[in-house]
Structure 1
Amino acid sequence: MSDVMITKAKRATQYIFLVCGLALSSWAPLVPLAKDRLQVNEAELGLLLLLLGGGALVTMPLSGFFISRAGTRKVILASVLLTAFLLPCLLVIANVYLMGIAVFAFGCGIGTIDVAMNSHGVQVQNAYKKPIMSSLHGLFSVGGLLGSIGLGFLIKAGLDPLFAAVAISAVLIALLAFQFRNLLDYTSEKEITRKFSHINEDEAVTSRLQWLNVSVLLLGVMCFIAFLSEGAVLDWSAILLRDHKNVSAEFSGMGYAAFSVAMAVMRLAGDSLISKLNSKTVVVGGSLIAAAGIVILVFSPWIAGFLAGFILLGIGAANIVPVFFSEGGRIKGLSPAVTIPVISTMGYAGQLAGPALLGFIAHHFSLNLAFEIIALLFVIVAVLYTFRK
């Protein structure tokens, strides 16, 4: 493969990460509209939201099967088109059962994009021979900010919500069409797999049955912890600030905003950081910084301390998961089509389980203790990564 092809594939992959973040976050402003239209209570709405995560979780392990047979480019095409088609549907379906099916299918599309784009990203990174995964995840974060703000802005500006959703879907399809031909094709991916995973085509078939690899499972466990922590901060940070730090309700979201901005900035700068340091320094140091941020957040009596804690948490946690995906794409004897779905599934399971586990701990003990346990989990990640082979 030529350097020009690899550079184009890198840029195309950046757009796909942006597309995934944009698609997922565009659902957030639609949730209140769906609740009103379907006339469901909070518990029923919670089940609908759970179906989105369930759809992603079900599809992620299956994505490797499709990737290994068709390549990530075709899987990305199908899943983005499915997601773009379903997004406006989430605004018009009035039957709660049909809505459940649509939300589940939307989650399937998002989960498949997630696995395919990460698998494609590690292939491009291997061929590019420089770290790129952190900036890719940074663009996912940028897409998340644009989606949640953009769709809401269009609706606030007076555009009919359905037309606003159609406009976002059109942007998703346009970005895909603009860069689709620059994504790696199936043949190029097989060539990179043979070169960097040290397996031939026959061994690749067998290796799909060998995902119970110690290195894969260890990365999956650490990814589970990292995603669990991120999911818990997403769902519980505002409650912590409002109910335990006496921050007014209208400002209770500032903690997660500070965390998100810090994480996005650090991920965009993460490739350069990893190149100058190394993966171990980034993961171990980042985990300890994140843990320190939580300690400051829990014990500080001042608003400046709360914000500093969330910022340190975002800085520390930002590049941990991208490193795990990079490591998963370089395990000898295993194709990324095997390793990335496993790591993604375990990570996403942590993101779904995190809020529930923290809620259980907060109910029986305290929310402060729940956040202290997150700090402990980050320390565990640092220890596991330090001593991994």
Structure 2
Amino acid sequence: MHPLPADAIYLDHNASSPLDPAVAGAMREYLTKSFGNPHSFEHAFGWAAGQAVEKARSEVAAAVGADPDEIVFTSGATEANNIAVLGICRALPRERRRILVSAIEHKAVLEPALAAKDLFGVEVEMLPVGEDGIVDMPRLRQALDGGVGFVSIMLINNEIGTRQPIEEIASTCREAGAIFHTDAAQALAVEDLDVQSLSVDLMSLSSHKAYGPMGIGALYVARDVPIRPAPLLFGGGQENGLRPGTVPTPLCVGFGAACSLLMNRRSSDRARLSALRARLLGRIVDGVPTATLVGDPIRRHPGNLSIRFANVEAERLIANLQPRIALSTGSACTSGTPEPSHVLTAVGLSVREAREVVRIGLGRFTTTSDVDAAAAIIVQAVAACVDA
């Protein structure tokens, strides 16, 4: 057990956000009283659970401008990404068996794409990005000329916070006849998502990045997508046959409740986070003038800072901040691996420079006093690392 100090400050919202108390309240009944299987159609317990799941599906759909029957519940964005990538690649016609992914995708997209190469014989091409983390659009257009059937590019990067011009990318892919998927796990909490405006065919969502519970996510599958993803699992036929297994009612209810809250909070959360981010960055740079921001300074997640502290090893800095400040070196899904971040090297950092970058993620419950205290502690810890 590692008890948290009372004054601990959580700045790792890009890894996971805390459960909103209102969401916990909505889930409570389905953890205790309404425990029926939502697929049991013969009795009232099943009816109540089933109605709760469908209400949650409608709430998730509303948060992204979709229809409820276009939402498939999954165990999280990782599973949603796997269904999208592997499911589509399995169904692609022979003349369209080339796929494109950006060099800074989450491993939950990159690894299924490479697996599809071995499993289904597709050709995989990595699209380069600039120093700002934005996909090279001329290179994308050039690559689309060669019979590409599927493209996956994330909306907001989980490490450096860069926001891709998804509307332009999706439109370009659609004109070329390629199915387009985006991983929007980091975007749900801060973007006014609308699948029609974005022109996406498939979109992955995560609950625990948006103040909902862990263990639940969703895949949006457009009703008019030319090729539907083929199922990867079998047995039960739930979720229109795409994702079999008993749907977890309490988690669905929590995800739906989180999405309902977002509908009224995203705009104000976005403005407040942007102000807090600017305040924190300013105070850090004042104390450590050599600190530099990684990624696009404007087109980025409003609560994300990816900062390089020259000549300071990120892992050592973070260790020195424990247990007071929670932040990270990058994706929680790949932490502990010896290799440098593929995202950071893709935007032009050397291996040494990549190991000097920390990720800070602000969230709904971050306060101004949290930001001020964290800035002072981080500046002091950087100085200690330099002097050691």
Fold shared by both chains (TM-score > 0.5): no
Q: Which structure carries more helix by proportion? A: 1
